[in-house]
Amino acid sequence: MAINSIIAYKNYISPHKGFSCPHRLLHGGDSCSDYVKTMLTNQSLTEALKSSIQRFQACTKASKTLTIASSNGFQCLVIPCCLPL
Query: Phi and psi dihedrals of 62, rounded to 5?
Result: -65, -40
Residue-by-residue DSSP string for 35-80 = HHHHHHHHS-HHHHHHHHHHHHHHHHHHHHHHHHHHHTT-------
> What is the per-residue pLDDT across 8-61, written as a single tens digit (0 to 9) for each?
877 777 766 767 888 998 999 999 999 999 999 999 999 999 999 999 999 988
pLDDT of amino acid 72: 62
79 occurs within a structural domain: no
78 occurs within a structural domain: no
> What is the per-residue pLDDT across 40-55, written as a single tens digit (0 to 9) for each?
999 999 999 999 999 9
Domain that holds residue 9: 2-71
The domain tally of the chain equals 1
53 occurs within a structural domain: yes
16 occurs within a structural domain: yes
pLDDT of amino acid 68: 80
C-alpha span between 12 and 21 (Å, rounded): 16
Task: Give the 3-state secondary structure of residue 81.
Answer: coil
- Residue 76 pLDDT > 60: no
82 occurs within a structural domain: no
